[in-house]
Structure 1
């Protein structure tokens, strides 16, 4: 489905009558099945990801936002940061210029990304060329998706072969030498088999000096119906993304009006060496889905095997001196290789006990992840090597703040403190869920998941002692999910829910485990939520959610340890995000579509936390890049069947770059626009203009000295050809 629901409509039987006027004999009726589609534009009504069953989103006791195919096309969404512009409760981080980085209800993550419900957790930039829609789930989701995702996650639903044949080619050109080609060919071969292939090729530059981007991907899928009740879908994806790792600009060393700010510089200025900052990823993934309906009992099995090769290297800005005349550059590179294998089996069936209806789901998931990680520090040839100024060191190259773009030789070596490890993670989980309908007005969702999470970790650094070289940890994770729904009317649902998720000590990327933390319990996140969902019309929906998310089991330095190395669990909750999320999406009129979102949140540290021997994060510290208010509004209005326009605005309130709370990202409002022209059913064009009024702003950061500059006004012309 592309922002639509497929409805099977049975045509009325066509009665055949005798040609004789006096004879009214009825012949045997022929049944003709007509398949129709109702386009809901920016509204998605159902999801199989939220509960692993086909469920109306109004019956899911959780805040969910779906970025539909129509919205993806109208906004020109090509990455995850673009996708969440109008999603309440989700922001973006810089990701060091080499990966998707998102902030879910105050919690930053690079791993809570899924594809067709399967974990896709390596750090890289994802594309939308093969994506039908993107589902944003808020709050803990461990019952369905497993560990992690404390504040939420994104699940991409791919385009797969079906029996609705169609072919489409897309072209895009625009500012900064943008050149992009996409293709989507879907063909029914016969009643048993259908084939589809999607692809992308892009060769572009960017508004930042020296930035380059190249992408190529192909994703063929084959669907088979060997029997009336069986569906098999097989797919393979190759994806390559190669670009310049851009770490943005630094901040001033001195505070102004009580806080520090990004340095004043041209938006195009690259700090560091763009030629010496390449990043690339190769993804090879195989997916298989098998579904069989035994007549009221559905068996579903999914398998995903994926290999990831990810490399990034960067020469990037660090601190600016007090006189604001020089900036220090640092350098390092990192290679990650990961092999993921996951298998999920779900059994779904319905039953009635007395007058109570049940939809049961029981399943199991098994996974194995092998990760190799190597980091190397960059060393500059100083003091003789230009352009490093006097005062530079082997790991710190000073350059003029007024001229920070350099080309400098760097030697990369694995130092004693650089990561060099390999790890094997094994996951075994079982889960059960019951969707209960007590009456037309009362429903409940109850689920429980048990995960066995084992990590075997080998630290390969020469400086690591033999006793700490081989580490392991095992966690038994029990993740409940409970929700109660009251429906005062068929189109309105009021809900309350509670859920728990855990983050093991090896971290979201499973790249770190220490002797002092391996025996500690995982971090725990609890989410309390009440909300409402209202289908104002079948094509327009509104949602509201009031939530509180608490974090506990934080590892801190033991204050009684004289060596300042022993870690203990922090007693009680240490972090809390609470707030409200509102959204409205769909058709206001037949010609006017809208998506609107509003977030108010308070995200802060709730008790003093000692994070090192000399550092304490005090109570009241605001969480990084979590503005109190976020607003998004996008409108599309069609003046005629051929012409339409779009206008949107994004507001982000003031926030801090990190939990140091030393550097402020000012609030901003950015406006975007679009013009749409449909030549006929097979050809259409659109012009997207981003940052209409050329606002200078800073949308995200990675640290106090790595701040992303927002792009200036950009123009992008797209064309789609269907045949």
Structure 2
């Protein structure tokens, strides 16, 4: 039984806030994922059975029907349609990625309110660092259901959709997941012949090409190849430039049969001259003793006011050369139409070779009109080996329908990290204050220091970079088992619950010794769903998560909390952070199932939060609370008018924030970092004719703090951004698309580092793309 979809309303499998317009084939019933590929686009509809499908009634396998809905490569851990899932889930479809020209994960996530981007720190100086409901989600990012911690800047050329699961998701995804998880679904082979290609040009030296070819190689086999090349600057941000290419082949056999096998490989490489940010206007003050006159006073904590294209980097020193290689083997078997098993094995390796300038405000140079060009660097190799088995299906117990999923996970994640040290005339730049305080002529003649208002990125840095030679390594071993179930007591009442047990063993090795610790993490979730009507649901849920010390395995901002070394010396032993989410919400399909409306209220409580004690130590004495609400609308208002929109309100407070000495308790009750109080995203399109479409987007982000310290706050101000799109299809196989992002050329900042700098977004960016489809 095949199904054609119209729009993005969840009459069949459901969806939630932020879901985008899509028009893809779906299959409901036996061999769902594989058999969907057998759709023939020229078949005519026979009957409309969306109501029967919604209620789980059987549809003859040979009948084709039309419904409105959306198919995703969803994890089997979701045991109910999204309409009946007691969680907030937003789906960014391939169509929305294309319409908004979202070429990176960062671009894509702006379509989901409540997500902010943290400026790189720790092990991820320039990679993706999304925050969900105020919680770092770098370690809660998944590719095709498997955790992908390696620090990187992700591309979308091989992405079918991005699913954003909000709220504690420990029972679904394991460790971390306090604010939710991000699940990236890759493009998969299909039983059809197709080629799609694009070529785009624009301002800021923008050039991009993609290729997506799918070939049927046998009755049940298909091969797909995705390619990407991208070379572009960053409008208004000096010499910043990004070059990357990607290759993603995949091969499937057994499509449409009970036994399927898929092989996937993904490679992406980038060679960038990164943006380096703008310092805040209230840095630490160190008084000069050389007679230099002070030229400014402490500001409010916003980025300093300098010309739009001010860039503090050094073209002669800065670069980011990162890569990712990922190989995946997936085996699937259908015991029956109601019982399935899937096993996925993956090995991946992420590499970083980064050296870039941070405009350091910690030495007080800004008050004298100078900036110290501090070197930030990273030399890293991170590999992951994982095997995950999912056994899922439907059974009846005591007369009630149970849609269940259970499985196991075995993962080893390991990273090796080193850095560069900057030298001038054989002397380490950081060995004294002559360079860091911009206090000598040599600091300026070597361009280690520069002007605050008029830096020159072409300055020839005459120092040297040497590998520091003090590497460290981290390792996380995970063994886990999970079970989730949705019980249908009656058509109007469902219950969802899940449990998961993770055994995690972390190890840290450095010149100071070897340290390790182990934790057993038990997480769970439960929810009730009441359906007053076929097209609507009201839910309440409770979910937990746990974040062990060293959760990012050296790839992010959290450090590993040390246990006992080989000599038995006890270091700093910390417990896992604990989080819980209480959420109530509702989801409705309206306008004959063309449009979905969603809403949710929630509270997240965090305990065992790591803080600095009054004596300068580290303890689990911290806590914070996040309260908020979300509303969303997605689908078609009319046949030609589509919309995806959402609004998020977040009030995140540090209840017990610690602090040493006179700072003890100062941050209690203050706003948590990287949490905007208000955020909004709207994307809408209208078909003026069958061939001509226009669209526009509006995005709002409230003030975001790096720190809400009452004495030295750091923040980026609120902003609005507006985008435009127009597309025209001609000669059956071709189309032209115009995208203009940040139409008003608004200066805004989209990332706030805790202490030193904020990242400025690109100015007005416009490009035209020629698309071909065969």
Q: Same-fold call, TM > 0.5?
A: yes
Counterparts of 2:379 and 2:23, CA distance in 1? 38
1:104 match = 132
Counterpart pick for 1:618 among 667, 679, 687:
667
Q: Tell whether 2:460 aligns with 1:407.
A: yes
> How far 1:398 moved relative to its partner?
3.1
2:575 match = 521
Q: Tell whether 2:251 aligns with 1:222.
A: yes
Counterparts of 2:709 and 2:208, CA distance in 1? 40
Counterpart pick for 1:58 among 46, 69, 83:
83
Question: What pairs with 1:263-342 in structure 2 (closer than 5 Å)?
Answer: 263-295=304-336, 296-319=338-361, 321=365, 323-342=367-386
Which range moves more in the overlay, 179-188 or 138-147? 138-147
Q: Tell whether 2:717 aligns with 1:693.
A: no
Tell me the SS of whatever aligns to 1:553: strand
Contact 1:672 1:691 (8 Å CA) reproduced:
yes
1:588 match = 637
Contact 2:741 2:764 (8 Å CA) reproduced:
yes
Q: Tell whether 2:378 aligns with 1:353.
A: no
The alpha-carbon distance between structure 1 residues 252 and 53, as it changes in their structure 2 partners (threshold 3 A), is closer
The alpha-carbon distance between structure 1 residues 136 and 419, as it changes in their structure 2 partners (threshold 3 A), is farther
Counterpart pick for 2:217 among 154, 177, 189:
189
Question: What pairs with 1:13-28 in structure 2 (closer than 5 Å)?
Answer: none
The alpha-carbon distance between structure 1 residues 635 and 612, as it changes in their structure 2 partners (threshold 3 A), is farther
Which range moves more in the overlay, 71-80 or 602-611? 602-611
Question: What pairs with 1:125-164 in structure 2 (closer than 5 Å)?
Answer: 125-164=153-192
Tell me the SS of whatever aligns to 2:543: strand
Counterparts of 1:714 and 1:12, CA distance in 2? 42
Tell me the SS of whatever aligns to 2:309: coil
2:226 match = 198
1:722 match = 773
1:6 match = 26
Counterpart pick for 1:605 among 642, 645, 654:
654
Counterparts of 2:23 and 2:683, CA distance in 1? 16
Q: Tell whether 2:433 aligns with 1:378.
A: no
Counterparts of 1:385 and 1:324, CA distance in 2? 14
Q: Deviations over 1:494-539 (max 9, x none)?
A: 1111111111111323463343666321111111111111111433
Counterpart pick for 1:115 among 143, 148, 162:
143
Counterparts of 2:419 and 2:436, CA distance in 1? 26
The alpha-carbon distance between structure 1 residues 530 and 335, as it changes in their structure 2 partners (threshold 3 A), is same
Q: Deviations over 1:45-95 (max 9, x none)?
A: 66622x525631111110000001111111011111211222122122233
Tell me the SS of whatever aligns to 2:263: strand
1:22 match = none
1:548 match = 603
> How far 1:244 moved relative to its partner?
1.7
Which range moves more in the overlay, 249-258 or 266-275? 249-258
Tell me the SS of whatever aligns to 2:753: strand
1:44 match = 70
Counterparts of 1:481 and 1:54, CA distance in 2? 13
Counterparts of 1:611 and 1:542, CA distance in 2? 47
Which range moves more in the overlay, 492-501 or 649-658? 649-658
Tell me the SS of whatever aligns to 2:736: strand
The alpha-carbon distance between structure 1 residues 131 and 227, as it changes in their structure 2 partners (threshold 3 A), is closer
Counterparts of 1:677 and 1:363, CA distance in 2? 47
Tell me the SS of whatever aligns to 1:368: strand
Counterparts of 2:581 and 2:45, CA distance in 1? 52
Q: Tell whether 2:253 aligns with 1:253.
A: no
Tell me the SS of whatever aligns to 2:172: helix
Counterpart pick for 1:211 among 240, 254, 274:
240
Counterpart pick for 2:413 among 343, 356, 369:
369
Tell me the SS of whatever aligns to 1:609: coil
Question: What pairs with 1:224-239 in structure 2 (closer than 5 Å)?
Answer: 224-225=253-254, 228-239=257-268
2:270 match = 241
Q: Tell whether 2:426 aligns with 1:390.
A: no
Counterpart pick for 2:761 among 695, 710, 713:
710
Q: Tell whether 2:532 aligns with 1:488.
A: yes
Contact 2:475 2:553 (8 Å CA) reproduced:
no
Contact 1:673 1:689 (8 Å CA) reproduced:
yes
Counterparts of 1:133 and 1:688, CA distance in 2? 20
2:12 match = none
Counterparts of 1:483 and 1:424, CA distance in 2? 35
Counterparts of 2:412 and 2:275, CA distance in 1? 32
Which range moves more in the overlay, 322-331 or 356-365? 322-331
Tell me the SS of whatever aligns to 1:610: coil
Q: Deviations over 1:650-709 (max 9, x none)?
A: 111122233446123221111111111111431111100111122222222224432122
2:627 match = 578
Counterparts of 2:61 and 2:493, CA distance in 1? 38
The alpha-carbon distance between structure 1 residues 703 and 353, as it changes in their structure 2 partners (threshold 3 A), is closer
> How far 1:557 moved relative to its partner?
4.2
Contact 2:404 2:484 (8 Å CA) reproduced:
yes
Q: TM-score, normalised by structure 1?
A: 0.89
Contact 1:46 1:57 (8 Å CA) reproduced:
no
Listed as ranges, the gaps of 5+ residues in structure 1 are: 15-30
The alpha-carbon distance between structure 1 residues 239 and 34, as it changes in their structure 2 partners (threshold 3 A), is farther
Give the structure, 1 or 2, with the largest relative contact order (CA under 8 Å, sep 6 or more): 2
The alpha-carbon distance between structure 1 residues 142 and 173, as it changes in their structure 2 partners (threshold 3 A), is same
Q: Tell whether 2:655 aligns with 1:635.
A: no
> How far 1:558 moved relative to its partner?
4.9
The alpha-carbon distance between structure 1 residues 321 and 494, as it changes in their structure 2 partners (threshold 3 A), is same
Contact 2:370 2:438 (8 Å CA) reproduced:
no
Counterparts of 1:365 and 1:611, CA distance in 2? 40
Counterparts of 2:638 and 2:757, CA distance in 1? 44
Counterpart pick for 1:477 among 521, 543, 550:
521
Listed as ranges, the gaps of 5+ residues in structure 2 are: 6-21, 28-35, 47-59, 284-295, 564-570
Structure with more of its chain in strand, by fraction: 1
The alpha-carbon distance between structure 1 residues 653 and 475, as it changes in their structure 2 partners (threshold 3 A), is same
Q: Tell whether 2:485 aligns with 1:429.
A: no
Contact 1:44 1:66 (8 Å CA) reproduced:
no
Contact 1:140 1:500 (8 Å CA) reproduced:
yes
Which range moves more in the overlay, 289-298 or 549-558? 549-558
